[in-house]
Chain A
Amino acid sequence: RKEVEQDPGPFNVPEGATVAFNCTYSNSASQSFFWYRQDCRKEPKLLMSVYSSGNEDGRFTAQLNRASQYISLLIRDSKLSDSATYLCVSRRGGFKTIFGAGTRLFVKA
């Protein structure tokens, strides 16, 4: 079993839609969590950190449920430019940063 698991998708949504991605992690020692975005053949870019109380950055909302060991990302009012692969990340021991395989999102006009 992979330490960080994501639904690979793809998710195909129209512009303006709301879409949610879930991610589960298996190591209860995981301390920090992040979402990254990766465009085709580019490097991953940090989208947002995920805090225990949940946090929002514009159209993006991240939630953490430690009891169930899952993280979610909600994207509201999807734009064409949101089309990318979204990587869920957990970190433990201060340095062991584990990436999920990613969820592909296609936003259609």
Chain B
Amino acid sequence: DAGVTQSPTHLIKTRGQQVTLRCSPISGHKSVSWYQQVLGQGPQFIFQYYEKEERGRGNFPDRFSARQFPNYSSELNVNALLLGDSALYLCASSLDDYYGYTFGSGTRLTVV
């Protein structure tokens, strides 16, 4: 079985640009969450989607947006990139609220 897949694996962008990150959850998982992880810190919650609806968002500016498609895949968009957006962006899927998450291997974003 395929795990959670994320693309691209690495990305270099310039300040002010926009980026779209993609995630495909494990088959049958309807919940997708996005996290940002900077070096030395734990993952920080950005968004969660369940059955294509946003269930919650963390303390991130409106430059961050996301959506979930009918096949449960998801995209995270970040506009007007700042140097501080450089991080590992992790996507996680789960069957429902009671199970732990399975993470993808992440997208490493560098903003220069």
Using CB atoms and an 8 Å cutoff, list the residues of chain A in contact with chain B: 4, 32, 34, 36, 42-46, 49, 87, 89, 91, 93-102
Q: Does B25 contact A (CB under 8 A)?
A: no
A95 x B31 contact (CB < 8 A): yes
B56 x A99 contact (CB < 8 A): no
Contact (A95, B50) CB under 8 Å given A42-B105, A46-B102 = yes
Most B-side CB within 10 Å, residue of A43, A89, A95: A43
A93 touches which of B40, B56, B104 (Cβ 8 Å): B56
Q: How many residues of B contact A (CB 8 A)?
A: 23
Q: Which residues of A contact B104 (CB under 8 A)?
A: 43
CA distance A42 to B103 in the complex (A): 10
CA distance A41 to B41 in the complex (A): 12
Closest to A48 in B: B100
B56 x A96 contact (CB < 8 A): yes
Q: Which residues of A contact B101 (CB under 8 A)?
A: 46, 97
Q: For chain B residues 54-69, which have a beta carbon within 8 Å of chain A? A: 55-56
A49 x B55 contact (CB < 8 A): no
Q: For chain B residues 21-54, which have a beta carbon within 8 Å of chain A? A: 31, 33, 35, 40-45, 48, 50
B33 x A101 contact (CB < 8 A): no
For the complex formed, measure the closest distance between the CB of A50 and the CB atoms of chain B, giving whole angstroms: 10
For the complex formed, measure the closest distance between the CB of A10 and the CB atoms of chain B, giving whole angstroms: 12
Chain B positions 91 through 112: 1 when the CB is less than 8 Å from some CB of chain A, otherwise 0: 0000001101111111000000
Q: Which residues of A contact B102 (CB under 8 A)?
A: 46
Contact (A44, B98) CB under 8 Å given A95-B33, A101-B40 = no
A32 x B98 contact (CB < 8 A): yes
